[in-house]
Chain A
Amino acid sequence: MAELRAEMVANVWKVVAAEGDAVSEGDTIVILESMKMEIPVLAESGGTLSRLAVTEGQVVQEGDLIGVID
C-alpha cells in the first residue's frame, strides 16, 4: 500500500484518476495548483487506486492524504 500526500498547501485543480482505476508508476492522479503553478501528483508505484481522498476545488494542507494505491 502506498499513500500519496500533498507536498504543500494547494488547491486541487483537477482530479485525473478515479477510485478503483488501475494505475501505473508515473501516472498522474491529481493536479494541484499553488502559487500560479500546476503540480501533478504522480503514482509512485503501480496498482489500484483504492482510495481517492480529494475532490476538485478542495484546498489541501501539506501532508494531507490525496489517495492510496494498493
Chain B
Amino acid sequence: MFDVVLVANRGEIARRIIRTLHVMGIRAVAVHSEADAGALHVAEADEAVLLGGAAPAESYLDVAKVLEAADRTGAQAIHPGYGFLSENAGFAQAVLDSGRGWVGPSPACITAMSDKVNARNLMSAAGVPVAAGTREPVLDADAAVVAARDLGYPLMVKASAGGGGIGMGVAEDEPGLRAAFETARSRAERFFGSPEILLERYVRGARHVEVQVLGLADGTVLALGERDCSVQRRHQKVAEETPSPGVGSDLRARMFAAAVAAGQAVGYEGAGTVECLVDPGRQDFFFLEMNTRLQVEHAVTELVTGLDLVAEQLRVAAGDPPGFDPAAPPVPTGHAIELRVYAEDPQRFLPGPGTITRWVEPSGDGIRVDAGYHDGDTVTPYYDPLLAKLCAYGTDRAEALARLRAAVAAFVVDGPKVNLPFFAELLAEPEFVSGDYDTGIIERMRS
C-alpha cells in the first residue's frame, strides 16, 4: 500500500478521501486554489500545496501544477475524486508515466467510455442493451433531423463527450430538436471541447438507476448494488437511494449481469458506475453511460454494504486484494438515501453563493454527513454548488425516510441560499414517499 497519496480535488470529496487515507495510515496531501486556502480539506490533510487562482483552469484542472505538487510532496499515488481531472485520460496517463499509482481505471478505459457514442457501441457489442440512438456522432441540426426520422420522437439530445447533464435536452418535434441541438452543441464545445452530439430515444416515465461496479486487481468485476438517481433537476441528480424502489429482483439480476459484462468488456479496474434508464412498467433497462470514477452518491452503497469504496479503490490501485472475500462480496441490507445539499434557492434552483454565518450538521442513528464547508466559509461562484451530502440509513425505506426528515429539519445553514426547504417538501411529497416516482418528479412538483 502507498505511504503518501495526493488528493486532486476539493470540498466534501477531498475530505472524504482524506478520512479513509488516515484510517489506512496513509499520509494525505491536499491541493487547493487561492479561494480554498481556508477550506476544511486543506486543514485536515497532512500537507497542502497551493496550486493557483480560484478559477479551476488555474488550479484544480492544471495538470502540470498537480503533478508538480505530487513531486514536491513525494506522493506515490493520486486520487482524483470526481469531476475535475478524474475522467481525463491524459492526466491519468501522465500520473502513470511519472511512476505513480493512479486511483482509477486505465487511461484506455477512460477514453473508451468518455465518448458516449463509442461507449454505446462498445456496450451494444458486449450484449448490454442500449436505447435506440445514433451510432455516429451528429454534427449539424439537419443531420439530427434526418436521424430523428428513423429514431422517432421524443429524443434526448446530449453531448457525446459530456457529463453532469450539461447541455442535455429533450426534443418533442423538429423545431424542438433544432433548438435543443443548438443548445447542446454550444455547451458541448464550451464545456467539453467537442461539438459531437448524440441522439437517443427518450423514455418517458423512466427511472435513472445505476450499478456500482468494482474491478479487482486480479481482473474480477463485481456488481455491488444499484442506486436510484431519478430525483433530478436540469438532468442533474439531487437525491439518490438504494435499493431502487422501481427495480424488481429479476431486473436487478439482469442489470448486475450487464454491468459486470460492461466492466469486463473494457477490462475495468477500480470503482465505476454503469448508468442505465429503467422502464419500471416493463421492468426493462438500457445502458446510458459508464462513469469511470468514484460517484458522488457512493455513500449510499457504503451504508448498505458496510464497504469503504475509497479503501477498495486504493487497494486495487496498489495491486492489493480487496478488504472482503471476493467470492462472497457483501450483500446489501437495509435502505439508504442521500440528499445533495446545494447552495441554490429551493424554488428555481438557481445558484446562491455567499458566506456561511452558521452551519449546524444533524447527527443521530443512521445519519451520515459528508460536508465540504463549515461556519465562516465563503461559497464562491467558481465551483459546483454541492455543500454537503446528507445521508440516512434505515433497516427499511420508511425508517430511512423518517431519519432523513428529522435530519433535514435539524440541518442549519445560514448565509447562502440552500435547497434544504426543497428536501423537506420532497420527503413529504406523496409521489416520492410512495417510491413510485421517475425523473419527472421535480418538474411535476414545480409546475
Contact = CB atoms under 8 A, between A and B. Distances in A.
B381 A39 contact: no
10 contacts: A7-B350, A8-B381, A9-B353, A9-B380, A35-B343, A35-B344, A35-B385, A36-B164, A37-B385, A39-B350
Interface in B151-179: 164, 166
A10 B380 CA distance: 9
A34 interface: yes
Interface of B: 164, 166, 187, 234, 343-344, 350-354, 380-385
Contacts of B383: 35-36
A34 B343 CA distance: 11
Contacts of A34: 351, 353, 381
A10 B354 CA distance: 11
B196 to A, nearest CB: 20
Interface of A: 7-11, 33-39, 59, 62
A62 B345 CA distance: 14
A59 B381 CA distance: 9
A8 B234 CA distance: 19
Cβ-closest 4 pairs across A and B: A35-B351, A34-B381, A34-B351, A35-B385
A35 B354 contact: no
Given A9-B353, A34-B353, 18 more contacts: A7-B350, A8-B381, A9-B354, A10-B351, A10-B381, A33-B381, A34-B351, A34-B381, A35-B351, A35-B353, A35-B382, A35-B385, A36-B164, A36-B384, A37-B385, A39-B350, A39-B351, A59-B381
Contacts, number: 40
Contacts of B351: 8, 10, 34-35, 37, 39
A33 B383 CA distance: 11
A35 B345 CA distance: 13
B86 to A, nearest CB: 15
Contacts of B350: 7-8, 37, 39
Nearest to A37: B351
A34 B381 CA distance: 5
Nearest to A59: B381
Most chain A CB neighbours (cut-off 10 Å) among B343, B353, B380, B384: B353
Contacts of A33: 381
Contacts of A36: 164, 166, 383-385
Interface centre among B343, B351, B382 (most CB of A within 10 A): B351
A37 B234 CA distance: 10
Contacts of A59: 381
B39 to A, nearest CB: 16
A8 B353 contact: yes
Nearest to B383: A35
Contacts of B344: 35
A13 B81 CA distance: 27
Contacts of B166: 36
A48 B177 CA distance: 32
Contacts of A7: 350
A35 B350 CA distance: 9
Nearest to B417: A8
